[in-house]
Amino acid sequence: MSGYSVKVPAKNIVQLRKIANELRTILKIEQPYFPIMEFLEFALPRLDPNFRLEVLDIEEMGSNHGLTYPDQNVICLREDIYEGAIAGNGRDRMTAAHELGHNLLHRNIPLFARNMTDNGVIKTIEDSEWQAKCFAGELLVPVQDSRLHYLSENEIADLCGVSYDAAYVQKQRIQKIKPF
């Protein structure tokens, strides 16, 4: 559902971080690097046999890098994004994690209803795109991991397999947390 924002039940950064951390705990992933593609291709289909990851060609997806249909339990990735994520491209890995966020966070919500407020403004914590983006950042760069607290943005990007921009955003969040 990337591309436009839909009003969804409110979730703040602390709640999204908790969901990402719970997923890491369930999967027993203790290192900072989250294997998003291995999770989407192998682990999630075992945990949820109804889940489908579809890789679609560029002509079919157009400008959409990813699309998620939470009501159908389907994530679609454009083939170049899929291949980039497999190859470890940070931006493409973030796209895959973003779509996972939609799938986990926005099930049983009528996304197409566009339930916007009277003035057309959605509060940030009720914005489907903001939630998926924050979830992806928290999943791929676990800010509570004390190993990240003294690293530079470049070191975080390398260690976590994300872009410099994503590492920069998460570094700002890390600085708000007291080191362990």
Q: What is the pLDDT of residue 111?
A: 55
Q: What integer is the mean pLDDT of 33-41? A: 98
Tell me the average pLDDT of the chain.
92
For residue 6, pLDDT over 60 is answered with yes
77 vs 66: CA distance, rounded Å: 4
Is the per-residue pLDDT at 2 higher than 50? no
Q: How many CB atoms lie within 10 A of CB 4?
A: 9
Average pLDDT of the segment spanning 41-66: 97
3-state SS of 71-118 is: CCCEEEEEHHHHHHHHCCCHHHHHHHHHHHHHHHHCCCCCHHHCCCCC
- What pLDDT sits at residue 45? 97
Instruction: Give percent of the chain above pLDDT 90.
Output: 86
pLDDT at 118 over 50: no
Whole-angstrom distance, CA of residue 81 vs CA of residue 66: 8
Using the 8-state DSSP alphabet, how is residue 40 labeled?
I
pLDDT of residue 120: 66
Whether the Cβ atoms of residue 2 and residue 99 lie closer than 8 Å to each other: yes
pLDDT of 114 higher than 70: no
Question: What pLDDT does 5 receive?
Answer: 85
The 10s digit of each residue's pLDDT in 66-112 is: 999 999 999 999 999 999 999 999 999 999 999 999 999 999 887 54
Q: Identify whether the C-beta of residue 36 lies closer than 8 Å to the C-beta of residue 97.
A: yes
Task: Say yes or no to pLDDT of 143 above 60.
Answer: yes
Q: Which helix (H) or strand (E) holds 53?
A: strand 52-56
pLDDT at 150 over 80: yes
Q: What is the pLDDT of residue 109?
A: 83
